[in-house]
Amino acid sequence: MTDVGRRVPVGRIVGLSGVRGAVKLESWTEPRARIFDYQPWLLVKAPGTETEMEGVTGREQGKGVIAQLPGIEDRDQAAEWIGSDILVPREALPEPEDGTYYWCDLEGLEVVTTQGVPLGRVHHLFATGANDVMVVRGGGKEHLVPFVLETYVVSIDLDAKRIEVDWDPEF
């Protein structure tokens, strides 16, 4: 198996398509079909069960994405992969443009206010209609900080693993 280092989730196998072993994907990439650009895939069905796949092909179909896994030629073989998470090596992703960040690069970073008050670490992020939100956990509290650069997020230092925010620690 390739030494993939840190792995990033990019989708999940959610169903079957046709009788020749194609699967339906939930893709978390933009655009959805870009998921095929990032390989090898590491398919994780359950903790401790990982299978590396290279050469996955596919296409967008309607509102979804269809994939053909190498070596999978019928519906029964494909059914075994339903529910598998699709991860790729972080190194397979292109470097983000200036001022943009992959969520996976922010998770785990220390978050402090502009006054130096520690809030905790970024647990995860989620999207809303208006903006993304950082879930920061620490000291028995959870803070939901809008990920709005220059308004709430003052600075991000990936090397120091630190994010400075303009945020009330009591909120």
Band the pLDDT of 2: cuts 50, 70, 90. very low
32: in domain: yes
Cα–Cα distance measured from residue 119 to residue 109, given in angstroms and rounded to the nearest whole number: 11
Residue 3 has pLDDT above 50, yes or no: no
Domain that residue 124 falls in: 103-165
Radius of gyration of the chain (CA): 19
What pLDDT, on the 0 to 100 scale, is given for residue 15? 97
Same domain, residue pair 68 and 88: yes
> Which CATH number does the domain housing residue 157 bear?
2.30.30.240
Q: Is the pTM of this model over 0.85?
A: no
Pair 102, 8: CB distance under 8 Å: yes
Number of domains the chain contains: 2
- Phi/psi for 58 (5° steps) reads 175, -170
Mean pLDDT of the chain, nearest integer: 93
Tell me, yes or no, whether 1 lies in a domain: no
- Residue 122: pLDDT above 60? yes
Let me know whether 71 and 110 are in one domain: no
Residue 97 within any structural domain of the chain: no
**Is there a single domain that holds both residue 49 and residue 109?**
no
Check pLDDT > 50 for residue 45: yes
Of 65, 92, 119, the domain-final residue: 92
